[in-house]
Amino acid sequence: MKMKFLISNDDGVYAPGLLALYQALSAIAEVVVVAPNSEQSGCASALSLSMPLYTHQLDSGFIAVNGSPADCVHLALHELYADTRFDCVITGINSGANLGQDVLFSGTFGAALTAQLFGIPAIATSLVGGGVKGEGQEQTSHYQMAAAEIVKLLIETPILDACKNLPYHVLNVNIPDVDSADDIKGRKITALGHRQIARPVHHVVDPRGRDAYWLSLRKRPHELPLETEDLQSSAIDMTDDQAVAAGYISLSPVRLHHTPADTLKTLSALML
């Protein structure tokens, strides 16, 4: 019996990364697509609770929704495909990195998070690189390469079974933006890194003389010292951004609903 996947994204239903992912996964599984009708980058796991959602089926069979990525997954699981048992929800392929603390803001990650909240294994995928939002055939081939690597991950490793046995975990995958799969050195299990944002807000004056502000997540080139439980107590020796910079595919398991036991003890002691 073929596997069944639901895919979505935050770059919109017409994004090349979504199409590449659909085409690659369709070779190994039954795949349905429910995605936003426009770009929704940076919306995390926001749900549209104050407006109705509308759907439109494209000639491709993809379903476009006037909402967030989380809306799309929520609607697909509980209404559009309520009778379907999906093996996994896979989101992306995002145009650009989702590394470190960026997962807090990412719609790609937020859609995967929504699936996991309802007990569905979830993988968020991104193509790292400053030029992936460009135009042309080169961009398409890079997404196709990344999609092929995702398929390899699913069929060559037991990662999907592992995800099914890890409730409230999202696997966050970042693939280096390289010309050929031969340029990828392999895969690394990583912890989320953390780097300071170089300039969180850009202030500009619009043509009418009004103040306007662009928010930015662009990071400083150097990394802050990382102090994470994962790196201190395990064999993990790389953060996600370090792995991608070294030419590896980064696989970061991110656990939800995590209240650290040591922190509970520390704060409980303050209440005595």
Total number of domains constituting the chain: 1
Predicted confidence at residue 220, as pLDDT, reads 64
- Cα 127 from Cα 174, distance rounded (Å): 6
209-226: string of b/e by CB count within 10 Å (b at 16+)? Answer: eeeeeeeebebeeebeeb
Average pLDDT, the chain: 87
Contact 174, 249 (CB under 8 A): yes
Task: List the chain residues with pLDDT less than 50.
Answer: 132, 136, 224-225, 227
Is 53 within the bounds of a domain? Answer: yes
Residue 144 lies inside a defined structural domain of this protein: yes
Q: Is residue 130 part of a domain?
A: yes
Decide if 68 is inside a domain. yes
Range of the domain at 112: 4-191+234-258
Question: Is 224 part of any domain?
Answer: no
Report the percentage of the chain scoring pLDDT > 70: 88
Q: What is the pTM of this model?
A: 0.86
Question: How far is the C-alpha of 13 from the C-alpha of 18, rounded, in Å?
Answer: 7
pLDDT the model gives residue 225: 46
Q: Are 173 and 150 within 8 A, CB to CB?
A: yes
Break the chain down into helix, strand, coil percent, rounded to 5. Answer: 30, 25, 45
CA atoms within a 13 Å half-sphere pointing along the CA-CB vector of 37: 11
Assess whether the previous peptide bond of 175 is cis (omega < 30° from 0). no
**CATH code, domain with 251:** 3.40.1210.10
Does some domain include residue 39? Answer: yes
Q: Is 94 annotated as a binding residue?
A: yes
Quickly list DSSP for 27-39: TTEEEEEEEESS-
226 inside domain: no
In a domain? residue 247: yes
Query: How high is the pLDDT of residue 66?
Result: 96
Residue 131 has a pLDDT of 53
Q: How far apart are the first and last CA of the chain?
A: 57
pLDDT of residue 130: 54
